[in-house]
Chain A
Amino acid sequence: DIQMTQSPSSLSASVGDRVTITCRASQTINSYLNWYQQKQGKAPKLLIYAASTLQSGVPSRFSGSGSGTDFTLTISSLQPEDFASYYCQQSFSIPRTFGQGTKVEIK
């Protein structure tokens, strides 16, 4: 199984900050990497797919990069509605594994 490791597990940031979350795969997954946002008590929402493609309707302050084993989700200027948990997920092989999540909290 491919293990997905996110860092950090949590972070505190202020509105307007630039935030970076990393995701590392235990083996190469090419660019088969997706990012999701989940707010408390809500279903996950797709943000970015294929490592760097922004899902329709997602604000342009979100961006993704990387390939192979190392990936990054960046929020260029954190907004109040961005405080949530973020998960990476690989679609390279079965089982389709998720990272453990990164909780973004208000400083």
Chain B
Amino acid sequence: EEQVVESGGGLVQPGGSLRLSCVASGFTFNTYTMTWVRQAPGKGLEWVASMKEDGSDIYYVDSVRGRFTISRDNAKNSLYLQMNSLRAEDTAVYYCTKGGAAGGRFHPWGQGTLVIVSS
């Protein structure tokens, strides 16, 4: 069974940093684009960043570009999101999901990890 599991969320002050992790299993991790999607409390889904299987292409939503960095370690079947200069509007549940290539789909999704940016 394909599965992804996120970790690393928590409470952080504005301007602070946090690193999210996602471990994948049940599929050949190094052959898939991987993606982070977030959902602010009571709001809809927002694509955050995607990274191709070999790291050759990386994409970010405008609101996080320059502050967030997506990375992966194919040897560890892991995806990461380094979040710096955090703002209150970054408060959300962050989901890791397989997919994100052109014409593709997001499946499966992890259970999410909650990030709260507050003083």
Contacts and interface: CB of A to CB of B under 8 A. Distances in A.
A52 interface: no
A67 interface: no
Nearest to A48: B105
B69 interface: no
B68 to A, nearest CB: 13
Nearest to B57: A94
Nearest to B59: A94
**Interface-central residue, B37, B59, B101, B107, by most chain A CB under 10 Å:** B107
Nearest to B102: A91
B106 A46 contact: yes
Contacts of A83: none
A50 to B, nearest CB: 8
A100 interface: yes
Contact of A46 (B46, B50, B100, B107): B107
B88 interface: no
Nearest to B107: A46
Given A43-B111, A96-B100, A91 B45 contact: no
Contacts, number: 61
B94 to A, nearest CB: 11
A59 interface: no
A33 B109 CA distance: 17
Contacts of A32: 102-103
Interface in A27-56: 32, 34, 36, 38, 43-46, 49-50, 55
Contact of A43 (B44, B100, B109): B109
B66 interface: no
A96 B103 CA distance: 10
21 contacts: A36-B45, A43-B95, A43-B110, A44-B106, A46-B108, A89-B105, A91-B100, A91-B101, A91-B102, A91-B103, A92-B102, A92-B103, A95-B62, A96-B35, A96-B47, A96-B100, A97-B47, A98-B44, A98-B46, A98-B47, A99-B44
A-B pairs, top 7 by smallest CB distance, nearest first, are A46-B107, A49-B105, A43-B109, A96-B47, A98-B45, A34-B105, A101-B44
